Structure formats: C-alpha cells, structure tokens
C-alpha cells in the first residue's frame, strides 16, 4: 500500500510493504514525522519517504548501506547536507519541476523489529522500555526523521540532545494516538 500524507508544509510518502501490518495508524506516523521535521528545522515545502518493511528487507539494506549484518530497527537516507536544516534555511535551489517539493530523504523501518523490541521490553531510547508496539514505531519514525534533519547521537552530548528532543516530541506514551 502506498499513500501520500499531507502535513503542511510536508508530504510524507508512505509505502507499507506487502505482508506488513503496522501497529500504529499511518496517519499517526505521518504526524510524528511532521513534528520531527518541524523541530529539526526541515526546509519547506518538502517531501520525505517512509517505508514500513520487515526484517529481511531491512537486513539487506543494512548490509548494503551500513556494512552491518542482520536486521536493524530503522535506517535513514538523508539527501540534503546538515546545513540545509540550519535556522532560517530554505529549500535548496535544485532543479525540479514547477510546484514540486525538494525531497529530504527516506526512512525505512522494520515493523517486525519494532513489534519484537516492544514485546520483549527492549523498546524506547534506552532499549529497556516496555511499551506498546505503536509507541515503539512512533519513536523509530521520529528518530529516523531527526536523522534526516542532520541530528545524530555519535557523541554523548549529541545523544542527550537528540533523546531529549525525541521525548519532547513523543509526549506521553502508552496509548495508540
């Protein structure tokens, strides 16, 4: 199933792979991504892709693009440099058809991994949170969108900042909003 969700000024192109059943509504995932793009100072108007898949596909992507064997929960493929997300930045002037949006990149999430992590109590930012698969999936799309916006957690300071922003964006957890 493919669907475009408009959360002005962004378009979120969602592709749910065959056989994948997300535990959260596509609309709630689009809302989470839009919130993260706003907080991440994404240029506007813009589009972003979200692919909801399984462990097999994300494991293939993980080895091909990251050099890591096995599945992971989320991968982000940003198309713009971090400078595009600086305060006051606008959509880069790149050749594109009239009235189109710049594409920020794509987020790929293993729904299978999100469900397994939540069910095993290995969810959340710390890997020890017991919450719903829907909450775990919203965290993963939020995390992926922040990576698209140039946020990272390579240093302890960067990790603290990114995790604090994720907590602020997710708000109270425990329900499928």
What digits encode the pLDDT tens for the residues 138-161? 999 999 999 999 999 999 999 999
* Range 87-113 average pLDDT: 80
- CA angle 147/62/82 to nearest 5° reads 20
- From CA 16, how far away is CA 3, in angstroms rounded? 9
pTM of the complete model = 0.91
pLDDT at 29 over 80: yes
pLDDT at 104 over 50: yes
Helix (H, G, I), strand (E, B) or coil at 57: helix
pLDDT at 174 over 60: no
pLDDT at 32 over 60: yes
pLDDT at 175 over 50: no
Assigned token pair, 23: 């535990």
Task: Show the domains of the chain with their CATH numbers.
Answer: 2-89+99-170 (3.40.390.30)
Q: What is the pLDDT of residue 128?
A: 77
Q: Which residue has the higher pLDDT, 175 or 75?
A: 75
- From CA 114, how far away is CA 101, in angstroms rounded? 30
- From CA 96, how far away is CA 99, in angstroms rounded? 9
- CA angle 136/142/147 to nearest 5° reads 125
- Read off the pLDDT of residues 110-138 as tens digits, 9 standing for 90 and up: 999 999 999 988 888 777 778 899 999 99
123, 128, 130, 133: CA torsion to nearest 10: 10
């Amino acid at each position: 199933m493919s669907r475009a969700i408009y959360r002005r000024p962004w378009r979120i192109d969602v592709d749910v792979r065959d056989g994948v059943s997300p535990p959260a509504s596509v609309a709630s995932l689009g809302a989470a991504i839009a919130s993260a793009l706003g907080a991440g100072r994404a240029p506007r108007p813009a589009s972003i892709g979200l692919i909801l898949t399984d462990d097999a596909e994300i494991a293939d992507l993980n080895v091909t693009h990251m050099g890591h064997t096995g599945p992971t929960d989320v991968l982000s493929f940003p198309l713009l440099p971090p400078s595009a997300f600086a305060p006051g930045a606008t959509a880069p002037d790149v050749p594109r058809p009239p009235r189109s949006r710049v594409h920020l990149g794509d987020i790929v999430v293993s729904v299978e991994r999100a469900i397994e992590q939540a069910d095993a109590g290995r969810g959340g930012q710390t890997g020890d949170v017991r919450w719903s698969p829907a909450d775990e999936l919203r965290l993963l799309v939020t995390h992926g969108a922040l990576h698209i916006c140039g946020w990272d957690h390579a240093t302890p300071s960067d990790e603290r900042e990114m995790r604090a922003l994720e907590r602020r964006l997710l708000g109270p957890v425990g329900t499928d909003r």
